[in-house]
């Protein structure tokens, strides 16, 4: 495969409901979409970076700059044909920026697999035609509000619900949901809002038979997470700290977690994601696919990954209608609590031309012959 051109599309996608982050509330998402043109065909992917550096140091505009100034010129500079599986190594001289790297790598996987007539799920080793879907419920105003929203999501068919919690809005709200839904697969996410001094409080969650408590402490405090895990019966799941197979292995060694949230963008692409997957299988760690408010492009990758046998828990894999009035691709729809794995080649989906036009803020075309390659 030889990379000939890349298009970078910036879109403004309206959300069904406002999304709250550390930088405030927003009603739309700034989406960066990558289209690659190769000698064998074209491929698409989505960069999952947020518009502001609230989840990780990466953000949308910064990811586009890294792609334009460093990653794409470096790939243009490769004179010999290369495989998508080699992109991780080819981009390794650029330190960090996993979400930007994942976007270009996944787009190249899409192009390569389409040219070979192969689905992404099959290339990864997936075996499930359907994957169980999960949904996230925000903190809300009070326990009754949270119970009501969970009821709506269960009525829609979701088999797993993850509750956001925070100090002062935790144990009693989880209790109310568990009493209303005694058999529901339930998890909670602390988003780093607690400290190890809250161990006694968090231990009260043990009675609710949760699948896990996700990211209760600051992402960089692995030792505190290990201390907390030793004091709880509820398994600890980590998110932000798990940026590579090495970091996953170290956190498992320390006992900082026993459940892993795997996000393709956070670890830098499919090659690294598969290394994490194999490590978790070897270590018998709990494993699920995390989401980043993706459009159908990113969701297709997540669903294909979740079709592998080793994913032990439903992931953050909601239907398109949970987030988008109109998805960028044909929508993912919930059926019997599951999402269908795409059956077409490559990612199995592509952006709808009308949605690209409707939501586009800008587009930049980069061609091999016009870009001076990085050494």
Output the DSSP codes for 266-278. Answer: HHTSHHHHHHHHH
For residue 40, name the pLDDT band (cuts at 50, 70, 90).
Answer: confident
Cβ within 8 Å of residue 300, ≥6 positions away: 120, 329, 332, 342, 347, 348, 349
Q: Is the pLDDT of residue 22 over 60?
A: no
pLDDT, position 21? 61
Q: What is the mean pLDDT of residues 11-34?
A: 86
And the tokens for 222?
């692995």
pLDDT, position 370? 86
pLDDT, position 141? 83
Q: What is the mean pLDDT of residues 94-107?
A: 98
Q: What is the mean pLDDT of residues 104-126?
A: 98
Q: Is the pLDDT of residue 121 over 90?
A: yes
Residue 141 three-state SS: coil
What are the b/e assignments for 151-184, b being 16+ CB within 10 Å? eebbeeebbbbbbbbeeebbbebbebbbebeeee
Q: What is the pLDDT of residues 164-180, one digit of tens each?
A: 999 999 999 999 999 99
Catalytic residue list? 164, 263
pLDDT, position 293? 92
For residue 19, name the pLDDT band (cuts at 50, 70, 90).
Answer: confident
Q: Which domains does the chain have, with CATH numbers?
A: 3-117+351-370 (3.30.390.10), 122-340 (3.20.20.120)
For residue 351, name the pLDDT band (cuts at 50, 70, 90).
Answer: very high
Cβ within 8 Å of residue 276, ≥6 positions away: 242, 244, 245, 248, 260, 262, 267
* Locus of tokens 């192969």: 118
How far apart are alpha carbons 100 and 32 in whole angstroms? 10
pLDDT, position 155? 94
Q: Is the pLDDT of residue 159 over 90?
A: no
Q: What is the mean pLDDT of residues 100-117?
A: 98
- What ranges in the chain are assigned the alpha helix state H? 60-66, 72-76, 87-90, 98-116, 120-124, 143-156, 171-180, 199-203, 222-229, 245-254, 264-267, 270-283, 296-306, 353-359
Q: What is the mean pLDDT of the chain?
A: 95
How far apart are alpha carbons 102 and 297 in whole angstroms? 13
pLDDT, position 140? 82
For residue 372, name the pLDDT band (cuts at 50, 70, 90).
Answer: low
pLDDT, position 373? 56
Q: C-alpha 291: how far from its chain's center? A: 3
Cα-Cα-Cα-Cα dihedral sign, residues 239, 242, 248, 251: negative
Per DSSP bridges, beta strands 213-214 and 236-238 are: parallel
How far apart are alpha carbons 211 and 160 in whole angstroms? 10
> Of 304, 294, 250, 234, which is closest to residue 273 (Cα–Cα)?
304
């Amino acid at each position: 495969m030889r990379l000939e051109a890349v298009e970078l599309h910036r879109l403004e996608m309206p959300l069904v409901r406002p999304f709250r982050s550390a930088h405030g509330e927003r009603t739309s998402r700034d989406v960066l979409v990558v289209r690659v043109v190769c000698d064998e065909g074209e491929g698409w992917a989505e960069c999952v970076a947020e518009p502001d550096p609230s989840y990780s140091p990466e953000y949308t505009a910064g990811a586009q700059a890294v792609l334009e100034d460093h990653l794409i010129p470096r790939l243009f500079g490769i004179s010999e044909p290369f495989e998508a599986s080699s992109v991780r190594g080819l981009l390794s001289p650029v330190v960090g920026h996993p979400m930007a790297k994942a976007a270009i790598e996944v787009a190249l996987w899409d192009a390569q697999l389409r040219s070979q007539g192969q689905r992404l799920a099959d290339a990864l080793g997936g075996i499930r035609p359907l994957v169980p879907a999960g949904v996230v419920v925000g903190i809300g105003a009070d326990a009754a509000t949270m119970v009501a929203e969970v009821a709506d999501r269960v009525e829609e068919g979701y088999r797993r619900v993850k509750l956001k919690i925070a100090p002062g809005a935790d144990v009693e709200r989880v209790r109310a949901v568990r009493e209303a839904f005694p058999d529901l697969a339930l998890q909670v996410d602390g988003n780093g809002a607690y400290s190890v001094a809250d161990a006694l409080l968090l231990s009260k969650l043990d009675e609710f038979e949760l699948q896990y408590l996700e990211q209760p402490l600051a992402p960089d405090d692995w030792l505190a997470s290990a201390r907390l895990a030793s004091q709880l019966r509820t398994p600890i799941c980590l998110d932000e700290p798990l940026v590579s197979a090495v970091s996953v292995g170290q956190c498992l060694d320390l006992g900082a977690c026993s459940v892993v949230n795997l996000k393709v963008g956070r670890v830098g692409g499919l090659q690294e994601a598969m290394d994490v997957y194999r490590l978790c299988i070897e270590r018998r760690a709990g494993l699920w696919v995390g989401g980043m408010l993706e459009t159908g492009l990113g969701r297709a990758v997540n669903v294909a990954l979740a079709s592998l046998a080793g994913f032990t828990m439903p992931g953050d894999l909601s239907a398109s209608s949970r987030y988008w009035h109109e998805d960028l691709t044909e929508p993912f729809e919930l059926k019997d609590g599951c999402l269908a794995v795409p059956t077409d080649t490559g990612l199995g989906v592509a952006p709808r031309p009308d949605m690209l036009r409707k939501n586009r803020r800008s587009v930049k075309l980069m061609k091999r012959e016009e870009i001076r390659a990085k050494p």
